[in-house]
Amino acid sequence: MSGWCTIESDPGVFTELIQTIGVKDIQVEELYMLSEDSFASLRPVYGLIFLFKWQKEKTERPHETNPDEDLFFAAQVINNACATQALLSILLNHPEIDVGEELDTFRTFTKSFPPELKGEAIGSLDKVRNAHNSFARPEPFVPEEQRQATKDDDVFHFIAYIPHKGKIYELDGLKPGPIVLGTLNENEDWLNAVQPHIESRIQSYGSEIRFNLMAIIKDQRVVVKENKIKHTERVEELSQLSKVNDLKEEENAMECTPVHIDDDDGYQALLKESNPSRLRKQLEYENKCLVDSDVTMRQLEQKFHMWKNENIRRKHNYIPFVVSMLKILAKEKKLKPMMEKAFEKKQEREKLAKN
């Protein structure tokens, strides 16, 4: 089994990784706080990936010994693959996500496998491993073997949180099985339900602040395109209503709240009510949303373009350039004075730090 490298916990990295392995219309977004406002503009959220400094738990939490067959849970048996494994734990547990033919076949083939065998099977996904390793950091020297972490090292770990058949699961490949965090009531938002569990976990680490939380969501460019089509259809429909067109300006002073794009029932009720003033307000709202959609799309395209450029820089090997530059400095007899000057500055800083 070929090795896997450690990769950076970054939404741009994970989004490109997802796209490279054949998953369609999915992106990753970083969350800076756990709140309704953070989730509001990102829905639907398929799962959360949590990065934290690993430490042995004081008490072992109960896990499912015979989990639902449709729940994909793999034990982590591959070193450094926990980031990609956390991604797969979310992607493969949502049938509505188009994961591509290869991952779909993998999901079906491994359905009856125990967790350890599923973990081993991930290592056979060459396309996934190659995409993962494409984000390896260039090293000036390639070690013959990987050094094992010691008790003094900071070891970081990725886990996934997902909703599945009315339950909230924590999927941690270092655990024997999936952990059920709670059961969802009818129409209960799983994000609100999982929030206390993540907050409790963060608080249990005391002064540790090195955490990272990312949401696996629908590609926001696709969402904007879909909503724009819907806004356009509503504008055309509302514009054709004679009661809206015949409404005088002075009659258009009624205060009302427009119906949101996701509220189809509310929109149909609005049409049925046929209140001219409300219809006019809704038309103004839909037109404004169309303008806002274009602005949002430009911002999203800029962000994806920025991610692409950042990933190019991540993958580029700057080491030959640095080595060549050092050789030129040495040839010009400038390297040694620069090193001596840097050493003197280091000593001065250390002296000031002691005082």
Cis amide linkage into residue 44, ω under 30° from 0: yes
CA within 13 Å, CB half, 124: 12
* 257 and 323 Cβ atoms separated by less than 8 Å: no
Annotated catalytic residue within 82, 164, 231, 289: 82
DSSP string, 138-157: P-SS--SSPPPP-TTS--EE
Report residue 340 as tokens.
């001596």
DSSP string, 171-233: E-TTSSS-EEEEEPPTT--HHHHHHHHHHHHHHTTTT----EEEEEEE-HHHHHHHHHHHHHH
Read off φ and ψ for residue 348, nearest 5 degrees: -65, -45
How many of the other CB atoms lie within 10 Å of CB of 237? 16
How many of the other CB atoms lie within 10 Å of CB of 318? 10
DSSP string, 49-108: EEEEE----SSPPP--SS--TTS------STT-HHHHHHHHHHTT-TTS--HHHHHHHHH
Annotated catalytic residue within 5, 94, 132, 157: 157
Read off the amino acid at residue 138.
Answer: P
* 116 and 77 Cβ atoms separated by less than 8 Å: yes
Of 26, 45, 27, nearest to 191 (Cα)? 45
Buried b (16+ CB within 10 A) or exposed e, 146-184: eeeeeeeeeebbbbbbbbbeebbbbbbbebebbbbbeeb
Decide if 82 is catalytic.
yes
Residues belonging to the active site: 82, 157
